[in-house]
């Protein structure tokens, strides 16, 4: 574009008119490949739902259709401009050439093993934005991309906190590597107590309903001594972090999401066995760009291992307690025959932690470290066994001698 502009300036007057027209057409073509997508949600606690709309503004059919994964149990009342077709658990929206709006309702409450991992009450709501704006197969012109924004509303007095910051007016949504940028990550809405800080050049917000004892300041203090060490291992950690929490029959653990995580209000920052749910989920946040297709034990094992290791490095637990934690994990893995499995839960994750501890010792003996391996592993598109073996061999200068691999 710069070369075209310089050429236009250099030409004579008669050619300049033609060149200016060509420049204008070139600029128009580039502009035509962009379209605006505004994601709006109104929280309706009386109905236990959220009224959602997606508005597309475009010049000439840049976005042609969106094919949503929209199970009937949670998504209903679809309406708007253009053609809308439901088939089983999917909804296809053919977007009008010059844009339009699709509206629908979303049931918020959702249970996992008898406890809520998404809930809306009279005064607050905690859920994932990705559950309001479901994943969609986007058909568009070649090279077309969205300029997206998020708008949230609710009853008077409600506030909204997201991984993109507080939403008082539409905020931009940018997702690297995607043509259709939709909001993701956890959201806390309602009458909230929020604490903010900047730690290691990251903006941190901790939000929970005002009537919940969420120990927000304790959590910020915990992050001040642990997050810098975590970022040294995972330098791609997001620039913003949102932590949300609640109690009231909510899931009694932790759940990560892009740039955000949920943790139950009653979870200890450090448990009696030396592990930390919060640090475990923070490792998942740090590695959320990568997936371990078929090898879930890698991300789960690393999350639990570094949850312990970061505490050891920063003085949160001593060498003796670290060793006791490893002994407890070994007994668990042996007792329940833990494997390097997918999905990885309980004893399987314990077995993976033991493997990574053994690898850390082997790498240190060779003048390297597990940190080096992890940085290379998660720089790739996927984190799987083959890539793990390759990075370990590079760091050691030979294949690993650990038998579990």
Minimum mean pLDDT range among 53-57, 164-168, 178-182, 252-256: 178-182
The pLDDT value given to residue 7: 35
> Is 404's pLDDT higher than 80?
no
> Are 307 and 179 found together in one domain?
no
Classify burial at 79, counting beta carbons within 10 Å of its beta carbon; exposed 0-12, middle 13-18, buried 19 or more.
Answer: exposed
- Kindly report, residue by residue over 302-360, the tens digit of the pLDDT: 999 999 999 999 999 999 999 999 999 999 999 999 999 999 999 999 999 999 999 99
Backbone phi and psi for residue 113, each to the nearest 5 degrees, phi listed first: 50, 45
Nearest of 90, 91, 103, 93 to residue 51 by alpha carbon: 103
One DSSP character per residue, 19-48 reads: HHHHHHHHHHHHHHTEEEEEEEEEEETTTT
**Phi-psi category of 337—alpha, beta or left, where left has phi over 0 and alpha has psi -120 to 50?**
left
To the nearest 5 percent, what fractions of the chain are helix, strand and coil? 35, 30, 35
- Domain span at residue 326 reads 290-396
pTM: 0.90
Of the residues 190, 216, 231, which one is the last residue of a structural domain? 190
Judge whether 13 lies within some domain. Answer: no
* Other CB atoms within 10 A of residue 315 CB: 9
Judge whether 131 lies within some domain. Answer: yes
Of the residues 190, 211, 226, which one is the last residue of a structural domain? 190
Judge whether 6 lies within some domain. Answer: no
104 CB-near residues (< 8 Å, 6+ apart)? 51, 52, 53, 70, 75, 76, 77, 78, 79, 91
> Are 41 and 185 found together in one domain?
yes
> Are 184 and 51 found together in one domain?
yes
- Kindly report, residue by residue over 157-182, the tens digit of the pLDDT: 999 999 999 999 999 998 876 778 99
> Is 110's pLDDT higher than 50?
yes
The pLDDT value given to residue 13: 35
> Are 178 and 320 found together in one domain?
no
Torsion angle in degrees (nearest 10) through CA of 314, 284, 52, 251: -80
The pLDDT value given to residue 59: 92
Judge whether 269 lies within some domain. Answer: no
> Is 8's pLDDT higher than 70?
no
Judge whether 278 lies within some domain. Answer: no
Of the residues 151, 172, 190, which one is the last residue of a structural domain? 190
More confident residue, 311 or 294: 311
| Residues 357, 305: Cα–Cα separation, whole Å | 7
Judge whether 367 lies within some domain. Answer: yes
Find the mean pLDDT for residues 76-104: 97
> Are 299 and 181 found together in one domain?
no
Number of domains in the chain: 2
350 CB-near residues (< 8 Å, 6+ apart)? 304, 329, 330, 332, 333, 338
> Are 173 and 314 found together in one domain?
no
> Is 252's pLDDT higher than 60?
yes
pLDDT-derived band of residue 378, with 50, 70 and 90 as boundaries?
A: confident
Judge whether 210 lies within some domain. Answer: no
Measure the N-to-C terminal CA separation of the chain; round to a whole number of Å. Answer: 52
What is the pairing mode between strands 115-120 and 110-112?
Answer: antiparallel
The pLDDT value given to residue 2: 35
Find the mean pLDDT for residues 104-123: 96
The pLDDT value given to residue 292: 63
> Is 1's pLDDT higher than 50?
no
Planar angle of CA 256, 279, 226, nearest 5 degrees: 135
Which CATH number goes with the domain that contains 52? 2.60.40.3650
Rg, C-alpha atoms of the chain: 25
> Are 185 and 294 found together in one domain?
no
Please, what is the average pLDDT of the chain? Answer: 90
More confident residue, 244 or 4: 244
Nearest of 224, 209, 195 to residue 126 by alpha carbon: 209
The fraction of the chain above a pLDDT of 70, given in percent, is 90
The pLDDT value given to residue 127: 98
Nearest of 289, 277, 283 to residue 229 by alpha carbon: 283
- Kindly report, residue by residue over 116-139, the tens digit of the pLDDT: 999 999 999 999 999 999 999 999
Torsion angle in degrees (nearest 10) through CA of 297, 298, 303, 304: 50
Peptide linkage before 343 cis (omega within 30 of 0):
yes
| Residues 280, 2: Cα–Cα separation, whole Å | 48
Secondary structure class of 235 (helix, strand, coil): coil
161 CB-near residues (< 8 Å, 6+ apart)? 167, 187, 188, 189, 192, 194, 205, 207, 242, 244
pLDDT-derived band of residue 403, with 50, 70 and 90 as boundaries?
A: confident
388 CB-near residues (< 8 Å, 6+ apart)? 295, 298, 373, 377
Judge whether 364 lies within some domain. Answer: yes
């Amino acid at each position: 574009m710069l070369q075209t502009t310089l050429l236009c300036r250099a030409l004579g007057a008669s050619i300049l008119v033609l060149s200016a027209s060509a420049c204008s057409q070139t600029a128009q073509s580039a502009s035509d490949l962009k379209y605006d997508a505004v994601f709006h949600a109104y929280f309706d606690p009386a109905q236990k739902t959220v009224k959602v709309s997606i508005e597309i503004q475009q010049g000439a059919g840049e976005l042609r259709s969106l094919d949503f994964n929209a199970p009937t149990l949670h998504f209903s009342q679809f309406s708007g401009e253009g053609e809308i077709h439901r088939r089983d658990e999917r909804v296809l929206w053919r977007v009008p050439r010059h844009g339009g709006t699709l509206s629908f309702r979303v049931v918020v409450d959702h249970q996992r093993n008898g406890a809520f991992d998404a809930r809306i009450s009279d005064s607050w709501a905690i859920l994932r934005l990705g559950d309001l704006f479901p994943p969609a197969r986007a058909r568009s012109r070649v090279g077309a991309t969205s300029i997206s924004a998020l708008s949230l509303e609710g009853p008077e007095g409600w506030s909204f906190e997201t991984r993109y910051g507080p939403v008082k007016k539409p905020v931009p949504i940018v997702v690297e590597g995607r043509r259709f940028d939709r909001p993701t990550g956890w959201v806390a809405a309602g009458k909230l107590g929020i604490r903010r800080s900047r730690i290691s050049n990251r903006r941190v917000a901790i939000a929970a309903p005002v009537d919940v004892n969420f120990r927000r300041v304790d959590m910020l203090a915990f992050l001040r001594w642990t997050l810098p060490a975590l970022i040294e291992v995972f330098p791609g950690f997001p620039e913003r972090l949102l932590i949300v929490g609640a109690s009231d029959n909510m899931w009694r653990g932790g759940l990560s999401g892009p740039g955000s995580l949920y943790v139950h209000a009653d979870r200890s920052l450090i448990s009696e066995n030396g592990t930390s749910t919060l640090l475990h989920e923070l490792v998942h946040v740090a590695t959320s760009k990568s997936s371990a297709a078929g090898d879930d034990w890698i991300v789960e094992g690393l999350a639990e291992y570094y949850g312990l290791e970061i505490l050891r490095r920063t003085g949160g637990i001593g060498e003796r307690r670290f060793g006791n934690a490893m002994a407890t994990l070994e007994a668990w893995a042996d007792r329940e025959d833990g494997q390097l499995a997918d999905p990885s839960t309980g004893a399987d994750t314990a077995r993976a932690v033991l493997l990574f501890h053994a690898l850390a010792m082997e790498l240190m003996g060779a003048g390297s470290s597990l940190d080096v391996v992890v940085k290379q592993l998660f720089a790739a598109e996927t984190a799987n066994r083959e890539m793990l073996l390759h990075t370990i061999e590079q760091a050691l200068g030979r294949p690993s001698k650990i038998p579990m691999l």
